[in-house]
Structure 1
Amino acid sequence: MIIAKNLKKSFGDFHAVNGIDLEVKKGECFGLLGPNGAGKSTFINMTYGTVRRTGGELTVFGFDPNNQSREIKSRLGVVTQDNALDESLTVLENMQIYCAFIGVPKSERTKRIDELLEYMNLAHKRDALIQTLSGGMKRRLVFVRALLGKPELLILDEPTTGLDPAVRHLLWGKVRELHQNGTTIVLTTHYMHEAEVLCDRLVILNQGTVAAEGSPQKMILDHAPGYVGIFNLNDVDKIKKIISTSDSYIFHEDASGLYLRTQTLSDLTAFHSDHGLLPLQIRPSNLEDVFLKLTGKELAIDA
């Protein structure tokens, strides 16, 4: 569906994408993770021709987005980071305008809009002004807009940032349904759990290059196996002193706490009982631990 070979994009002396190779297969949900500035948005923008690549090869549906972006855009839908809805118009008016923009036949527009509003639990807001909608409703409406053209490829660019857990889980359910019905999905997200839940396969980008690739489970096993204890920041000196005499622990410290990873759960509980250090939380390793190991950065949304 998408093939990139030695793909590059530079802005002056800054290499936003620096020679990446990746392939998105038909029917999969593929994740793009990485800190801000890693190249995620640049890659997304290159796939549909908004940004022209500096070097390498890139095809989407077999087309080159540098000179065949119209053919690509007719077959994909995009949930953008910004809602970009006309606040002075109603839900129906916004969707009708977009239908006209993408060439949905006039005779089909109302039916298609109504079906998708029902699908996203927004039918009761059909005639409401955009400015009266909650943030979660606006986000769901952007999904409706992205689906109006019946896309083969759906790009979700940080689709749930800033949403409460209830709306986020509702959207996860809809994404799973679309995936199960054969839609190919590319997801960029700052939420590691979101990527674990939704993605068949993913890459972590760092400084414009691919740091790791694979299924979420394989990446955890390869890069951060074991269990993690999260400790109070006040225990930092004691923990550092203990681990300085052993190679059995992987330690990470940031503003949110102290993270100590061990190979087994028994190693972690022994650390707790032997040294009288009570963890705030004990959990299996996850994608967040992989991310921190490979990038050395916190996944800050607003950085």
Structure 2
Amino acid sequence: MFAMIRIPDKMKAVPLIILAVLLMCSALSVPAEGQLQGNREGRPVPVTILSIIPSQAEPGMSVTLYGSGFSNETHVLLGPLEAPTTVQGPKQLSFEIPDLAPGLYGLFVRREDGTVSKGYRFSVTPRTPSATSLTPDKIYACSPDTERVVQISGGNFLPSSQVLFDGAVIKSRFDSAETISIQIPRIASGLHTVQVKNPGGTLSSSLALFIDSKPEITGIIQGENYVNYYDLIIEGRNLQSNSKVVVEGKSMTAAAVNPVEREKVIYVDCNRIIYQRHPYDSAEKSFTVQVINPNGESSSVVEVSAP
């Protein structure tokens, strides 16, 4: 019979150590998938564009590209310009449309190693103007020309932008890419719309402008005294040449003077009407005055103390 040979415990661990070393060497010798493509084939990983969202945009808007092979130094070329680019990862980046005229442009992605993607056609659309506010957004119907200037605030305005007032083009002044000024024509009172239109037909949203024609009495003062009458001066806004002046229920207009009637009104301008009052005596009395315009709009009733 053969005698059994006993192997020391320390020698049993040697084959396991050798096997572990061999496996580690094998792992280190296998290149990554990208390295296989780059090293074995002798060319870099290609840059690929799979989708463009959105497929068209205007200058200043952001566009996202999905694909592969992007690096931190990858840039987007749109037509003749390099667009500001932000890389989110090897499969996604975004860029901002540069200041280009509307039209179709070639879109490419270029990596720092010179690798360029396949080109695609990208449509740059006209800038859409943005109108956000009017200053002021209300004017009085009788305001002078100097008080009829309205400023439109917004963005993407161009020197060639047009302003539409109730759908029709009116004269405007380009102030900057954020402001345009217009002078409101003498037109019927009420709500009116204002829009900005850019070349290419893009329109801003509509803004409302209110033209207020309601008469308003801001003050009544006693004027010149004559032998048997005196002037009562009515001051206010939106006073018209054919406005009715109602005193204690009795109405008078400057447009219809009754030669038999002693009391009458004289229209001065839209801010002043003179009421020539013939009192019975010089004692002060309390009476009311109101102005009513031809369209039926009326001022508040004002109480006056005078002879």
For the aligned pair, the TM-score class normalised by the smaller chain equals under 0.3
- Which structure is richer in relative contact order (CA contacts within 8 A, separation 6 or more)? 1
Higher normalized helix content (fraction of residues) = 1
Higher normalized strand content (fraction of residues) = 2
Taking structure 1 as the reference length, the TM-score comes to: 0.21
